[in-house]
Structure formats: C-alpha cells, structure tokens
Amino acid sequence: MKEIILENERGILIKNGRYAGLLEPGKYRFFGDVTVQKLPAAGQILPSQCTLETLLSDPKAAVFAEPVTVEDGHLALHFVDGVFRDVLRPGRYAFWKISESHSFTIVDTTEPEITGIPAGVLVRMPSDLYLRVNVFEYQKARLYYDNRLVRILDGGVYYFWRGGVDVAADIVDTRVTRMTVTGQELLTADKVALRVTFVCNYRITDCVKVLTEIDDFREQIHVTAQLALRDYIGRRSLDDILENKEELSAYVGGKLSEKAPSLYVEISDAGVRDIILPGEIRSIMNTVLVAEKKAQANVITRREEVASTRSLLNTAKLMDENKTLYRLKEMEYIEKLCEKVGNINLSGQGDILSQLASVMGSQKKQDDWI
C-alpha cells in the first residue's frame, strides 16, 4: 500500500489495529494489515483510529501538539496567535502547533460574576455560557445567586457565568411612576352613585424591602386609595363633593402619604382626574345650568337697558339746559338727513339753518303721512 502525506497533513499509522506512530509529510509504502488516518496539520487534533491520550503518549507526536485539560466548573478561552478563537468546555483537548501558536486562559465559572474579560471577547462567546444584565441609569437591579439576594446593581452592563450558580436579576424602576385608580362607583351621602377616577404618582424608596417585606405594593396603594375615596364620598353630599374637589384630592393624598412609608414608596402628588355623574343627574344639572345662564343673561340685558335710558335722559337734560348743545345736535340730525336727500331749494329768507330745519321738518311730515 502506498500513501503520500502532504505538507499540511500528518498521518496516524495503525498496524494490526494498534497505534504504530505519527507520519510526517512524505511518500510511504506499507505491507500487511495497515491503516493510515490523514489529519489536517492545523487546528484541533481529532484522531478516530486511536485515543487522544495514546497519540500524546508518543514523544514524536507530543512535540507537535499543544494539550489542555479543562476541569469541571471551569472554561478555557482559546487564543490562536494571540486572537480569541473559541471557548473550551470541560474536557481534554489537543491542537497542532505546527503552523499556529495556541494559548489558553482558564476561568472559574463557580464564581458567577465575570471580571477581567474584555466585552469584545464575551460577545463572541456562545450566549448560553453567560448572562448579560443591562441596568439603565434610572434603574436598580436585584441580583440573586441560587434564589438568594446578593446585592443591588447600579446602572451599567454586567456579565455572569451560567451553569455553576443559578443567577437571576430583576429590574426596579426608580423613576416617578403613575398609578390610575379607575372606575370606582361610590355612593354619596344623598345616595347618588358617582364614578371617580383618581391618579397618584409614586417612587420606590427601598427596592429591597419593597419586595421582601411587602406583598404587591402596587395593589396596596390601589386599595388604600379606594378606601379613602369611599370614606370621603360616603360622608358628603353630591353638591359638597363637586364644590370641593380639591379637598377630596387632599384627603385621599394625605391617606396615601400616611401609608407610603410602610410600603417603602414616596407619594409625590395625587388628585381626582374625573367625576362621572349618572345620566339622569347630568341632564338635571345641565337644565339647571341653562336656567342659571338665561337668568344671568336677562339681568345683564336689563342692566344695559337701564344704563341706555339713563344716558338718554342725561343727554336730554343737557340739551334742555344748553341751547348751543341743542343746536349742535340739531345740526348733526340735519347732516344725517341731508346724506339721503338729492336737491334742496332755499328762498333766501331767514338763516340757512332755520330754512333747512323747516324743509327737513316738512319732508319728515310728508314721509310720515305717506
């Protein structure tokens, strides 16, 4: 049997089913029960005709190999010629070092948090090996190892190994958050059913205790607002409530502020957004409003009429007491009439103003008669 091993290959010689040596590049002739496995002379050594340990036990083969062992609870970062190539999980490996140089960095995955590894290397690893936690500036993150709270994470990007320890993180928003208590149908003291919508803004002050000591703090804020609304509205009439909405807001907001420290939140502001009346009550109130506006309009009309009459009376008194003013008003009247007259003939007897007044007076009588 003839075999040629190329420059970029190596051969594993098997005689009578047993490893017989490593073949370097060249031309070979064999007799008998012989098998030759050709392997690329770069990358990982993966013999199929013998075990890796058998191959590495041969001093001639060991010279060309770079072995590495990764124990349980560890990973090996594999670099080829100084450049990250891949991650090796627990096991026994060997790589040809004929045309490449191989180096390895062993990391302990029993320590969950990843430190000292550049982010550029991490993002090239398989995503099932690590957990990435993004925490924005306005957030906090509760970090757990095996369901045990370890610490609070501030804003930033964090990486943790998967597998050795169960790592989990939940995000808490520390910004002011709005809560709306909607559709609360409540009876007033005079038995009118109202639907009230209430809003409040809150901010978490202790992101650890709000989880470990309070069961659903949002629901408890909601219930506190409901009870305060029911207490205030149930003791007052509809008119009192509609006239004192700010007092209602202050009352409920005060109750929430009293409860807030025990819920590990801070109430920044609160208020009534909507008060919805039943349909028949709205119709009655609209009728009352229209009647009130009509009455106001009538009062204003009468007031203006009185003012106008008083002004006319004052003008008449002034003209009666002052003949010059009377003559001026007469001239103004004649001027307005002349604007609508085509031709006027005067005889020359008497002053012009008297003749014009006489003509206009007679013309007005004709118009009245016609």
For range 210-228, the mean pLDDT: 90
| pLDDT tops 50 at residue 368 | no
| pLDDT tops 80 at residue 343 | no
The mean predicted confidence, pLDDT, of the chain is 84
For the sheet with 9-15, list strands across it: 18-23, 9-15, 34-40
CATH of domain 177-277: 3.30.479.30
| pLDDT tops 80 at residue 153 | yes
For range 141-161, the mean pLDDT: 93
* Per-residue pLDDT, 349: 59
Q: Spell out the long-range contacts of 182-189 with Cβ–Cβ below 8 A and sequence spacing 24 or more.
A: 184/226, 184/229, 184/230, 186/229, 186/230, 186/233, 186/234, 187/233, 187/234, 188/233, 188/234, 188/236, 188/237, 188/238, 188/241, 189/234, 189/235, 189/236, 189/237
Higher pLDDT, 326 or 44: 44
* Per-residue pLDDT, 297: 73
Q: What is the CA radius of gyration of the chain?
A: 50
| pLDDT tops 60 at residue 204 | yes
| pLDDT tops 80 at residue 59 | yes
Among the listed residues 244, 170, 245, 246, the one whose alpha carbon sits nearest the alpha carbon of residue 208? 170
- Return the DSSP state at 17: T
HEC secondary structure over 102-144: EEEEEEECCCCECCCCCHHHHCCCCHHHEEEEEECCCEEEEEE
| pLDDT tops 50 at residue 246 | yes
Reading the block at residue 314, the tokens are: 């004052």
| pLDDT tops 50 at residue 364 | no
Q: Where are the domains of the chain?
A: 2-108, 119-173, 177-277, 279-321
For range 275-293, the mean pLDDT: 65
Confidence bin at 369 (pLDDT 50/70/90): very low
Among the listed residues 90, 91, 88, the one whose alpha carbon sits nearest the alpha carbon of residue 80? 88
| pLDDT tops 90 at residue 191 | no
For range 139-159, the mean pLDDT: 93
* Per-residue pLDDT, 199: 93
For range 144-159, the mean pLDDT: 93
CA dihedral of 26, 27, 32, 35, whole degrees rounded to 10: 50
Query: Phi first, then psi: what are they for 366, rounded to 5°?
Result: -60, -45
Share of the chain above pLDDT 70, in %: 83
HEC secondary structure over 160-215: EECCCCCEEEEEEECCCEEEEEEEEEEECCCCCEEEEEEEEEEEECCCCHHHHCCC
Q: Which of 94-108, 183-197, 281-295 has the highest mean pLDDT?
A: 94-108
Among the listed residues 165, 139, 167, 172, the one whose alpha carbon sits nearest the alpha carbon of residue 154? 139
Judge contact between 114 and 159, C-beta under 8 A.
yes
| pLDDT tops 90 at residue 346 | no
* Per-residue pLDDT, 40: 92
Q: Which of 245-249, 275-279, 336-340, 346-350 has the highest mean pLDDT?
A: 245-249
Among the listed residues 213, 197, 196, the one whose alpha carbon sits nearest the alpha carbon of residue 205? 213
pTM score of the predicted model: 0.66
For range 122-151, the mean pLDDT: 92
Residue 304: exposed, middle, or buried by beta-carbon count in 10 A (0-12, 13-18, 19+)? exposed
* Per-residue pLDDT, 342: 59
Q: Per mean pLDDT, which range of 48-52, 248-252, 331-335 is the poorest?
A: 331-335
* Per-residue pLDDT, 358: 65
- Cα–Cα dist 91/71, whole Å: 6
Runs of H (alpha helix) within the chain: 52-56, 59-62, 119-122, 209-212, 217-234, 238-243, 245-263, 279-321, 323-338, 352-369
Among the listed residues 52, 159, 48, the one whose alpha carbon sits nearest the alpha carbon of residue 96? 52
| pLDDT tops 50 at residue 195 | yes
